[in-house]
């Protein structure tokens, strides 16, 4: 049995510092649980002077050439916390080929090349772990491939991005507009100066691709996920949603049916009684359905130095235990190519539609006629006078394919009494 395990970090930003902090503070707890000491040996950074104010563990030193890590035969585990998809990929590939085990939090890279990297790790008989790539401290990846490994997962529905959940929660609680709340989120550090990846749904889509690959045993990539963001959500939509009994969230939804797989990220109304409706602020949550456990939900911090570091340390502990016992490279491949994708245009959902119409008699009848032509029913309608000339209609439709709604909106846009179709938002119904 190996007497000790040495690790090295590629990068020392927020997440890297949180990882080292936990490894240092909880050293005895970690060693007691895995029965082997874990030490931080080297940390790759471009400019060590930037971190002169940080006290490193006695065993650790900075290096400015990543090959000092990859070519060191004493290093067992490489922890990649740099981010990005180019240099990080090069480092991970070279580490695997050099026979080193890898722990990473890099969702962008995994959504782009996860299956390839897993196959490379299997080929070279090393471990590759990536719990921290999705939902921070929430152990959702291990739950999917381990705890629920004997189940057929049928649905994943999650709040996978803390920035957008903070924005939508704030809009809902304070009645504020999108731009105002986005500015506050940036000031508080929840949103980047360029928030595109978060607010357009790209970050959540990458995480959903990773989860879907594991849950459904298929090579799923970022481009396989249909994606819509929250930039068009209006405060009035949130208020109407409340009146109908709904809460709005940016959801990542992956389903497997007899028709195939569908993976979508989009804003959606969910019933106030659903467990995901109570997830506020920057928290994440993942709701699962499977044929053995029925339903399960995981909730926690989705980002941050220590929450993400917690998942990285968990992976380090698992790999270190494998190294000590000589059982590395035993994780079975779970990617198989045989399953088909189901077109998002065919997915059925109920919808919320908000539009500005003429404030005159007969408008509702004309709107109802267009709904009937598309074989769609109106389950609930709220009509409010806006001014002497216009009114606002908020409609909850019956469940129907997305293509039907697209045709309906097109017909509304050609109806003279309709001034503008302002919002079209999906409603999650059982």
- State the catalytic residues: 207
Q: Rounded distance, CA 73 to CA 35, Å? A: 22
List the 61-63 sheet strands across, edge first.
Answer: 61-63, 38-44, 5-10, 77-80, 101-104, 128-129
H-run or E-run covering 257: strand 246-257
**Beta-carbon count within 10 A of 208 CB:** 31
Dihedral sign, CA of 136, 190, 351, 263?
A: negative
Q: Crossing angle of helices 107-123/87-97, nearest 10°?
A: 20
Taking the C-alpha atoms of residue 198 and residue 108, their distance in angstroms, rounded to an integer, is 12
Name which of 329, 335, 333, 314 is nearest 127 in CA terms: 329
Residues 157/299, Cβ–Cβ less than 8 Å = no
Pairing of strands 390-397, 418-427: unpaired
Beta-sheet strands, E only, within 93-137: 101-104, 128-129
- Beta strand 226-227 pairing with 260-271: parallel
Helix H segments across 60-176?
A: 67-70, 87-97, 107-123, 140-142, 162-174
Name the 3-class secondary structure at 382.
strand
Residue 87 tokens read as 């240099």
Distance CA 137, CA 271 (A): 26
Partner residues linked to 44 by β-bridges: 10, 63
The three-state secondary structure class of 228 is coil
Please check whether residue 11 is in contact with residue 44, taking contact to mean a CB–CB distance below 8 angstroms.
Answer: yes
Q: Quick check: helix, strand or coil at residue 296?
A: strand
In angstroms, the Cα distances linking 405 to 19, 240, 261, 327, 408 are 47, 19, 21, 53, 5
CA distance 395 to 379: 8
Residue 166: Cβ within 10 Å count: 22
Query: How do 101-104 and 128-129 pair as beta strands?
Result: parallel
Do residues 178 and 231 touch, judged by C-beta distance below 8 A? yes
């Amino acid at each position: 049995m190996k007497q000790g395990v040495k690790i090295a970090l590629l990068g020392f930003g927020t997440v890297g510092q949180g990882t080292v902090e936990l490894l240092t503070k909880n050293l005895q707890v970690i060693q007691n649980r895995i029965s082997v000491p874990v030490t931080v040996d080297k940390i790759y950074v471009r400019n060590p002077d930037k971190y002169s104010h940080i006290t490193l563990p006695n065993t650790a030193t900075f290096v400015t050439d990543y090959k000092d890590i990859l070519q060191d035969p004493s290093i067992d585990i490489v922890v990649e916390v740099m981010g990005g998809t180019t240099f990080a990929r090069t480092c991970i590939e070279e580490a695997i080929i050099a026979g080193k085990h890898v722990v990473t939090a890099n969702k962008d890279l995994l959504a782009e090349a996860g299956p390839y990297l897993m196959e490379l790790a299997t080929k070279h008989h090393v471990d590759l772990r990536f719990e921290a790539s999705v939902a921070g401290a929430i152990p959702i990846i291990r739950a999917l491939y381990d705890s629920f490994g004997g189940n057929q997962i049928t649905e994943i529905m999650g709040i996978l991005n803390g920035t957008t959940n903070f924005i939508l929660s704030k809009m809902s609680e304070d009645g504020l507009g999108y731009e105002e709340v986005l500015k506050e989120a940036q000031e508080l550090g929840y949103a980047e100066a360029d928030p595109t990846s978060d607010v357009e749904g790209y970050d959540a889509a990458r995480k959903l691709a990773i989860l879907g690959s594991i849950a459904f045993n298929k090579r799923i990539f970022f481009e396989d996920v249909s994606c819509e963001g929250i930039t068009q959500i209006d405060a009035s939509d949130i208020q109407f949603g409340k009146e109908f009994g709904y809460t709005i969230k940016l959801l990542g939804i992956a389903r497997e049916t007899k028709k195939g797989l569908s993976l979508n990220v989009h804003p959606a109304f969910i019933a106030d009684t659903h467990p995901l409706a109570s997830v506020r602020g920057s928290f994440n949550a993942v709701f699962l359905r499977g044929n053995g456990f029925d339903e399960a939900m995981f909730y926690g911090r989705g980002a941050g130095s220590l929450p993400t570091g917690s998942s990285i340390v968990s992976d380090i502990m698992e790999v270190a235990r494998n190294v000590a016992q000589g059982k590395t490279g035993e994780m079975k491949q779970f990617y198989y190519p045989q399953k088909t994708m189901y077109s998002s245009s065919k997915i059925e959902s109920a919808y919320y539609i908000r539009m500005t119409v003429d404030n005159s008699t007969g408008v509702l009848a004309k709107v109802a006629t267009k709904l009937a032509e598309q074989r769609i029913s109106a389950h609930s309608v709220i009509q409010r006078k806006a001014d002497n000339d216009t009114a606002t209609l908020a409609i909850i439709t019956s469940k129907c394919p997305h293509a039907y709604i697209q045709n309906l909106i097109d017909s509304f846009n050609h109806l003279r009494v309709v001034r503008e179709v302002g919002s079209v938002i999906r409603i999650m119904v059982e």
